[in-house]
Structure 1
Amino acid sequence: MDYRSLISSPTLLIDEKICRANIKKMADKASLHQMELIPHWKTAQSRTIGNWAKDYGIRQITASSIRQAAYMSNQGWENIHIAFPFNVREIPRLNKITESQSISVQIVNTFTISKLAEELKNSIGFMIEIDAGYGRTGVHMSDFGKIDEILRIAAGSDKLNFIGFYIHPGHTYYMPDKEGIYHETRQALAMLKSKYQAQFESLKTRIGDTPGCAVAHDFGDIDEMGPGNFVFYDLMQADLKSCEKSDISVALAVPVVDIIPERNEILVHGGGVHLAKDFLQREDGQKIFGEVVLLNEKGWEIPSETSIVKSISQEHGLIKASKELLEQVKVGDLLGILPVHSCMTADAMGAYLSLTGEWVDHAEKKSF
């Protein structure tokens, strides 16, 4: 069956072959550097894609919320780490999940670790998130007083097990010197490991961004990597040189509803509720909300002339079309759109259609 016959409205396609190749490439890179790959599942949010990952030796994953962790629980994962400053209001739900699944959480302050020490019913692991320059969240790398206090409180509980230190160097997304950022990250984690490993012999250090993990060549003695976006990649990652456009494993299939040849524009059913509203911006100020690919029975191909989604509203997408595209498309056809930010597009769509015509699950469980 041609998967296109199943599509009547915006549908997120996934190319399993490309997705698996992305996972294998990152797993091979982690192995080369003697690191464990513990991917962040905030991008895929899928049990099925999780099973693909297991084929490449992946045994642990990371989630961005307790809801994601709950969805991925009891699927054979050795541990699921929630890489978001833990929300103490969710301790009752954490207690329920940890009855049957090994979970670890992210700690950034003494209040949270104290509440966990008081209210946990089952054992969990925890990592201390470190801020080494990003400035979003985490304990500053030099704030040993806070780190020591967190560890002291945890030591008073038989339910809290310290795993190590976690850094998400998210400024690799907007600063060009990724190697410089990774040098700072390596130094910070090496310093913390040196200071605390005598006390915690099995202490682990982890990094968690896709751009750095994709392009860096020196990880020092960091133990684990936890990128997420690499499973799908997207136009943002291609713009950052983390991947090629041919590595992007998802595309939004959208129906053509109108063609305006005098403006070289194509109107499609596919807007902000499908793609989200992330965009790239050209030097001339033009915003890009997606890039057109041509769908075929085997998937999609990148055309020789680029056509972009120039604007979106809730349901509409307006494409600035190349001459090549205008000459071959008609109302009622399907086009593919490579997303700017695949994490947000996948979250908005809540399901995937494979190129073999099978639906692939997503934590948001949108109806197929």
Structure 2
Amino acid sequence: MNPLCWPHITSATVLIDSDRAKRNIQRMQDKAVAAGVILRPHFKTHQSVDIGRWFRDSGTHQIAVSSLKMAQQFERAGWRNIMLAIPINPRELAAINRLAGECHLTLAIEHEDALLALQTLSHPIDIVIEVDAGYGRTGIDWRQGNRISDLANAALALRHVRRVGLMLHAGNSYQASGDDAIAAVHQQSLERLSHVRQTIAAPAQAQLFVSAGDTPTCSRMSSFPGVDEIRPGNYVFYDLQQQHIGACDWDDIALTLACPVIARYPERNEVVVHAGAVHFSKDYLLSSERFDGRPCYGQVMRSSAAGWYPEPVAGAYVHSLSQEHGKVRMPAELIARTKLGDMLVIAPAHSCLTMAAMSDVVMFSAKA
């Protein structure tokens, strides 16, 4: 279906350019092969069984997810090597145990208390200990090497644990800007992870594996010393945030929102679209140069008969959201040409949350 057959799209709808997405997928797969690491893409970005097949076609066999429900969804779709890349929830142990009986499952822990929960499992699992190298979300601080070593060996001693590894997500790379800043986060994170790895005592040291990675560093860096597998996710679509920090180019963005105009306010240089916080996300950008110091939840793109051009419309962006309304700042001459019911094609600040929130999705090929 051509997404810009506007009569067929009546409400806020996610548009996915399959050509761009497949190109992004293959490029990351090729990079992993060249770097000598396994690519374990994080499927939380797309959460789609159909899109998951694009990864399999490129050579992917191992995946990461961020919820048990997601893990179950992809196991039913035939994926047999799954990492639940979020600290385990003891309330889900019965379902986790059933899942471990159906696939090669890796679980993440970040505290000694998790060992009590793991003892109740009856199927083999792998374990990764999450290390915090500076992001400050979850994980054991990288400076607590002895504690991490003790936890690794205690986990390995459990009856159903096959092997133990370290897991790192350098989410602080999302606050970097440009290759040099992204490289600095990458180098610092891997140096700290290497320090932890060297402190792990036997027997865990002998079979330890390392899983790391995030979209900015995996997109811009070409080597991953000390890492066995990388776990980027957002790269399948990219988004305005990734373009802003230099992790991708405009032509790499493979997901936008088609948003109908429902109100015009030339006197305040705004239109309103029926697409609000429940369609975009909580994330936004701030840039005095690009957005006049206002928050930007999405950038209006120049639309085409086959989707959209990799070209932003200068001065046109979503600067305010309520539940169903999005206020779009626009140049006066563009507002004059915009009618009620027109569709704006908008690249969201964060594609992961937009995709998770939306049920109306159109996938298309601009080459079709």
Whether the TM-score (by the shorter chain) exceeds 0.5 is yes
Structure 1's unaligned 5+ residue stretches are 358-368
Correspondence for 2:203: 199
TM-aligned CA deviation for residue 145 of structure 1: 3.3
Correspondence for 2:27: 25
Correspondence for 1:120: 121
Correspondence for 1:248: 253
User: In structure 2, which of residues 294, 303, 308 is the aligned counterpart of residue 295 of structure 1?
Assistant: 303
Letter in 1 for 2:334: L
CA distance in 2, matches of 1:333, 1:310: 19
> Does the CA-based 8 Å contact 1:190-1:222 persist in structure 2?
no
Correspondence for 2:318: 309
Write out per-residue CA displacement over residues 199-244 of structure 1, whole angstroms, 9 at most, x where no aligned residue.
3544321212111111224422322110111111111111110011
Correspondence for 1:104: 106
Counterparts of 1:301-340 in structure 2, within 5 Å, are 301=309, 302-303=311-312, 305-340=314-349
Letter in 2 for 1:178: I
Query: Is 175-184 or 74-83 further displaced after alignment?
Result: 175-184
Counterparts of 1:122-141 in structure 2, within 5 Å, are 122-141=123-142
Write out per-residue CA displacement over residues 154-192 of structure 1, whole angstroms, 9 at most, x where no aligned residue.
233221122411111111112453222222222233344
Letter in 1 for 2:296: I
CA distance in 1, matches of 2:254, 2:260: 20
The percent of aligned pairs where both chains have the same amino acid is 36
TM-score between both structures, scaled by the size of structure 1: 0.90
> Does the CA-based 8 Å contact 1:110-1:146 persist in structure 2?
no
Write out per-residue CA displacement over residues 20-54 of structure 1, whole angstroms, 9 at most, x where no aligned residue.
11111111111111111111111111111110011
Correspondence for 1:235: 240
TM-aligned CA deviation for residue 142 of structure 1: 3.4
CA distance in 2, matches of 1:318, 1:139: 41
> Does the CA-based 8 Å contact 2:266-2:332 persist in structure 1?
no
Correspondence for 2:183: 179
Write out per-residue CA displacement over residues 87-144 of structure 1, whole angstroms, 9 at most, x where no aligned residue.
1111011012223122111111111122212x10211111111122222221222323
Query: Is 235-244 or 201-210 further displaced after alignment?
Result: 201-210
> Does the CA-based 8 Å contact 2:135-2:170 persist in structure 1?
yes
Structure 2's unaligned 5+ residue stretches are none
TM-score between both structures, scaled by the size of structure 2: 0.90
Q: Specify whether residues 331 and 216 from structure 1 end up closer, same or farther in structure 2 by C-alpha distance, changes over 3 A only.
A: same
TM-aligned CA deviation for residue 196 of structure 1: 4.3
Counterparts of 1:1-368 in structure 2, within 5 Å, are 1-3=1-3, 4=5, 5-117=7-119, 119-176=120-177, 177-196=181-200, 199-200=203-204, 201-283=206-288, 284-301=292-309, 302-303=311-312, 305-355=314-364
Write out per-residue CA displacement over residues 327-368 of structure 1, whole angstroms, 9 at most, x where no aligned residue.
4321111111100011111111145211269xxxxxxxxxxx
Correspondence for 1:366: none
CA distance in 1, matches of 2:164, 2:79: 17
Query: Is 155-164 or 54-63 further displaced after alignment?
Result: 155-164
Q: CA RMSD in A?
A: 2.1
